[in-house]
Amino acid sequence: MFTCLEITENVTEYLEGSLGLRGRIMFRWHLLFCRPCRIYVMHVRTTIGVLGNLEFEGPSQAIEAELLNLFRG
């Protein structure tokens, strides 16, 4: 069985699908009975979601103009 601390250390392996079948079942089993760990996993998923939604600042206009010149050749 996983402890709560082990859940926090294995969450990436779980989300990456690299825990193996037995590990995955044990992980889910723990979550079923542990609200704080469900919240923890939600934190991690939200963090990944924020990263995936980051807005790009992009290059400055000067650099952009320079790059465009390169592209024009």
Partner 1 sequence: MQKEKLHNPDDRKILDGLKAGDESTFLNLVRENHDALISVARGYVKTRESAEEVVQETWMAVIKGLDRFQGRSSLKTWMFSILCNISKTRARRDHRTLLFSEAAGGDGQNESAVDPSRFSPSGKWEDAPASLEDKTPERLVRNREFMEVFRKSLGDLPDTQRMVVILRDVQGFSSTETCNILGLSETNQRVLLHRGRSKLRGVLERVV
Cβ burial 34-66 (10 Å sphere, 16+ → b, else e):
beebeebbeeeeeeeeeeeeeeeeeeeeeeeee
Q: Which is nearer to partner 1, 23 or 34 (CB)?
A: 34
Which of 21, 22, 32, 51 touches partner 1 by CB under 8 A? 51
Q: Is 62 in the site for partner 1 (CB under 8 A)?
A: no
Q: Which residues bind partner 1 (CB under 8 A)?
A: 3-6, 8-9, 11-13, 16, 18, 34-37, 39-40, 42-44, 46-59, 63-64, 66-68, 70-73
